[in-house]
Every structure is written in structure tokens, then in C-alpha cells.
Structure 1
Amino acid sequence: MTTRHLYIARHGAADPFGTLTETGRRQAELLGERLASLPISAIWHSPLPRAAATAREVARHLPAATVAEAAELIDNIPYVPPGDTMPPGWAGFFDGYAEADAAAGRRTADTLTERFATAGPAGQGTAERHEVLITHDYPIAWLVRHALESPPARWLDLTSANAALTVLTYRAGAAPTVMMFNDMSHLSDDLRWTGFRPALRP
């Protein structure tokens, strides 16, 4: 059975200019250490500098893996709920958001799932692939929502911390499996929960 394992992480903590902070670099290093024992063949990252820098740090611990940019992993709003279904808490966030931008965001989101949310082409026998995706909060939420077959607006309340690990598994002919979401066990206490709004932190 063809199987694809995706190890998905948000980039490390970054400053307002998109450069990894010392905290972000340490988070990326610990993420790489956690993944080091796995048979990772590829590391894909968003075009944005904070994701690319995180991927380079992770790659130091995975010397056999290729590293490449994937445009589909860009920081992106994947779906804007219609006005009559908009959760009240999000209405201000989308106020004035252009329909053309919303449509473009949805196209990017669909391309993301078409490329990565699949076991791969039929006829690959029992091949297994293990790949890392370094991306952003919203694309992770969209991939998890897609794996759970939840309504499109469900992505709105799924938040990932910096360098937290989400694992999705895709098997040919079977529903996707969410193995873990937003796991921070590889991070020390002082490195956890960055990227969350203060009100969402435990």
C-alpha cells in the first residue's frame, strides 16, 4: 500500500521583519533533533524567509533529505466564510477583504491539498514516503481541516505554535489519519506556545 507521512511544522519564532529570532533558531534546532531518527526523504518549505531558515536548520539533522521550496506552502488565507456564515469573532478580521483575494487564496489552498494531501500516484506498490513541510499557521490548519473532512470554515480555530509538530498520514484507498496536532513535546517549557495569542495560551 502506498503511504505518505507528512511531518508538518510552523516556522520558528520570528521578528516583525520575518527573520528568525534566537528563540526561533533554537525551536528549529530541537525540531530537527526530534525528526533526525526518521527516514525523511524531502523537506519542503514556504518561500518566505522565516520558513526557509527553519528548513535549513532542520535539514542539518537530516543530511539525506533534499530541501526545496514549495509555493503552495506560502502564508495564505485559505477560505473566507460567506458573510451569513461568518463566526462573529472573525468578522473584524475579514472586514474589507476583497473577493478576488479570497478566490486567489482558495485556489492556493486547493493546490496545496492537491499536491501534498495524497498518498501519491497509484501503482507505487508498498512504497512509503516521509516528508517534512515547513510552513505557516493557516496552511497547517487547512491541511488538518481537510484531513478531518470538516467544513471549510473549521480552519479558523485551529492554531499551531512555532515549531510544533503535526503529523498526517495518507494511505491509498483510505481516509487520512491525523496522528498528532500541535505537539510541542520536543520543546522546553520556555520555547512552547510562541505564535499563540496570549488569550489562547494555557
Structure 2
Amino acid sequence: MGTRHLYLARHGAADPFGELTDIGHQQANLLGERLACLPIDAIWHSPLPRAAASAREIARHLPDAPVAQAAELIDHVPYVPSPAETPPSWAGFFDGYDDTEAAAGHRLAESLTSRFAASPGPAPDTHEILVTHAYPIAWLVRHALDAPPSRWLGLNSANTALTLIEYRAALPPTIVMFNDQSHLPTDLCWTGFPRTARP
């Protein structure tokens, strides 16, 4: 039975219009260099420009890997918690999400896990890069941990940080790494997070 290796990466740093900055291009390039030694079968990306541009930058180091858009990777709120599930620090964050929007976001999140969060079955090992956004990564990590739906809150990823989840048949998923930035020099780390002191 094969193992599905999912390499999850948030897009590179972007400007307020959603386009990659020079720093974002550098970050994606360095991530591509890091992944170049792996037998990548596919590079999937969100439809949004910052993710698509990051995927193209990564793909320069993986010329044999096809690059394709996956609608499930779009930036979205995967689950709107009830008031009882919402931590006090998140109070007000979900104001304005009506039931229809919340249900649509959750359906998209379920499609994401159905498509990507499964073993390859009897097929050989697969290696796929998913270039997406912080919320879908948080949702996939929460799913792998079998945590309550609201637990995606509080999981965040830096720009081009690497998360690796492995899926094998009849076994729980394995989170091999989360938010790893070791391919980035210090001055390119921690973008995508609020400005504060970091180790």
C-alpha cells in the first residue's frame, strides 16, 4: 500500500492587492530549491494570483511536475464555530458570516479533505505540493489530528512555510512537520504573521 505525501505551503508574501512581492518571489524560489530533490508528481495551487505565482516559482525547480489549479485550495473560512466554540479572542471575527456563507465554506472544506486527505490505496507512493492559504492548511492539519472542527482556529502558517502530512491506508495521518521555515534566511521568516518578536 502506498503513502500519499502532501507538502502544504502557504503562498509567498503578497501585497495588499494579492500579488507576490519581491520577498514573496524569493520565498517561493527557496521553497522550490528545497523541494527540488523530491519525486514530486504534481503541484496544485489555489486559483488566487499569489498562490498561482508561488506555484510557478516553485515549479521552476521541478520541471517534470505538472502544475494545475485546484478550486478546493482557494482561501476560505472552513468552519464558522458556534458562539460556545469561539474563543474570546476571536469574538467578532465571524460577524457578517451568514448561514449560507458558512455552509458554503464548510462544503468547500469537506471537498478539500475528500480530494486530498486520503491514502493512495494500492497505488504507489505519491508526492504532491499544495500551494494554498493559511486557513486551508489549518483545516487539513485539524483534520489529520481528528480534532474538533473549531480547532482550525489558532493554527497559522508563515508565507512558504512547509507542512508535511502523510496518509497511509488503515492508519491515522502522520503530521511530519508543521510551519517549517528552515529553507528561509532569518530576514524572510515569519511574514504572514503579526509583527512581534519571534525566536
Does the pair score TM above 0.5? yes
Give 1:153's match in structure 2, choosing from 150, 159, 164. 150
Matched residues in 1 for 2:25 and 2:102: separation?
32
Alignment pair present for 1:167 and 2:167: no
SS class of match (1:157): coil
- More deviation in 81-90 or 186-195? 81-90
Alignment partner, residue 52 of structure 2: 52
2:103 aligned counterpart, secondary structure: helix
Task: Report how far residue 64 of structure 1 moved.
Answer: 1.1
1:17-96 aligned within 5 A: 17-96=17-96
Q: Deviations over 1:20-39 (max 9, x none)?
A: 00000000000000000000
Q: Which residue of 1 is the match for residue 140 of structure 2?
A: 143
**Alignment-derived partner of residue 180 in structure 1:** 177
Residue identity matched to 1:167: L
SS in structure 2 at match of 1:198 = coil
Counterpart CA distance in 2 for 1:197 and 1:98 is: 27
TM-score with structure 1 length normalisation? 0.96
Alpha-carbon distance in 1 for matches of 2:64, 2:172:
29
List runs of 5+ in structure 2 lacking aligned partners.
Answer: none
1:196 aligns with 2:198: no
Identity across the alignment (%):
67
2 CA distance for matches of 1:200 and 1:168?
28
Distance 1:5 1:89 in 2: 34
* Residue in 2 that maps onto 1:100: 100
Separation of aligned partners in 2, 1:193 and 1:2 = 34
Structure 1 residue ranges, 4+ long, deviating more than 6 angstroms after superposition: none
SS in 2 for 1:9: strand
The amino acid that maps onto 2:153 is L
Deviation per CA, 1:38-82: give whole Å up to 9, x if none: 000100000000000000000000011000000000000000111
Gaps (5+ residues) in structure 1? none
Query: What aligned pairs does 1:104-119 form with structure 2 within 5 A after superposition?
Result: 104-119=104-119
Query: Partner amino acid for 1:162?
Result: N
Sort the Cα spacing of 1:136 and 1:27 in 2 relative to 1 into closer, same or farther, 3 A.
same
| Residue correspondences, number | 199
1:155-181 deviation per Cα after TM superposition (whole angstroms, max 9, x unaligned) = 110000000000000001111000000
Give the CA deviation at 1:87: 1.0
Counterpart-to-counterpart distance in 1, 2:94 and 2:198: 23
Q: Is residue 2:3 matched to residue 1:3? A: yes
Aligned to 1:128: 125
Amino acid at match of 2:138: A
**Partners of 1:105 and 1:197 in 2: CA distance:** 25
